[in-house]
Amino acid sequence: MDAAARKVLGGDLHAAAHLTGRFTLRSGKVSGEYFDKYRFEADPKLLARVAAAMLPLVPAEAEVLAGVELGGVPIATAMSLASGKPAAFVRKEAKTYGTCLAVEGGDLRGRKVVLVEDVISTGGAILDARRHLDHAGAQLVAVLCALWRGEGEPRIPGLDAPVFAALTRADLP
């Protein structure tokens, strides 16, 4: 996707997800702005555009698209529908009932997997999801996100897999 297309998509994500008001952030700080990522994921046309922007970033050897709970799940599903690649879903923690798994969607032992996330700022959720994939016997080949909100180029310290982003903060208004 070229720079102009990224700016258009970034503008549309911003229009859908940028809220003003009074919001308490996870850090406890109060902000007059909030980026509600679920608003762009709940819009089927925008979600399809995000998935389409992310699909060219999938390495050729990838066999499975694994969405990270919760925000990566709709994107991985949309990418799966568009590409025909199977999806899997990585929970924050294993269920305590039924299959008692942290990774759902089939056996991933020996499979080449791409983790899919909506927004990455620091990568903490990705490192946790990576541990679950390792436990499931999967081989992580890359991480993809719709929006990289971290500093500099997409990279997660402690992760030995490349990180690719459809958009960065610079693509937002």
Instruction: With respect to residue 7, please indicate whether it lies within any of the assigned structural domains.
Output: no
pLDDT digits (tens, 9 = 90+) for 126-141: 999 999 999 999 999 9
Instruction: With respect to residue 20, please indicate whether it lies within any of the assigned structural domains.
Output: no
Report pTM. 0.93
pLDDT for 172 equals: 92
Q: Six-digit token pair at 51?
A: 């998935």
* Residue 88 DSSP SS3: strand
The dihedrals phi and psi of 81, each to the nearest 5 degrees, come to -60, -40
DSSP string spanning 150-163?
A: SSSSS--TT--S-E
pLDDT higher than 90, residue 1: no
Instruction: With respect to residue 161, please indicate whether it lies within any of the assigned structural domains.
Output: yes
Alpha-carbon span 4 to 86, nearest angstrom: 31
Neighbour-count burial of 12, counting CB atoms closer than 10 A to its CB (0-12 exposed, 13-18 middle, 19+ buried):
middle
Instruction: With respect to residue 166, please indicate whether it lies within any of the assigned structural domains.
Output: yes
pLDDT higher than 80, residue 54: yes
Q: Which residues are annotated as a binding site?
A: 26, 91-92, 95, 117-125, 149
Q: Which domain holds residue 79?
A: 50-171
pLDDT higher than 90, residue 65: yes
pLDDT higher than 80, residue 168: yes
Alpha-carbon span 107 to 41, nearest angstrom: 27
Please say whether the beta carbons of 125 and 68 come within 8 A.
yes
Q: Which residues are annotated as a binding site for 5-phospho-alpha-D-ribose 1-diphosphate?
A: 26, 91-92, 95, 117-125
pLDDT higher than 80, residue 27: no
pLDDT for 150 equals: 84
- If phi over 0 gives left and psi between -120 and 50 gives alpha, with beta otherwise, what is residue 17? alpha
CATH number at residue 138: 3.40.50.2020
Number of domains into which the chain is organized: 1
Q: Which residues are annotated as a binding site for orotate?
A: 121, 149
Say if strands 139-148 and 163-168 run parallel, antiparallel, or are unpaired. Answer: parallel
pLDDT for 151 equals: 85
Q: Six-digit token pair at 18?
A: 């940028």
Instruction: With respect to residue 17, please indicate whether it lies within any of the assigned structural domains.
Output: no
Amino acid (one-letter) located at 41: E
Categorize the per-residue pLDDT at 114 as very low, low, confident or very high, splitting at 50, 70 and 90: very high
Half-sphere exposure of 170 (CA within 13 A, CB side): 8
Instruction: With respect to residue 61, please indicate whether it lies within any of the assigned structural domains.
Output: yes
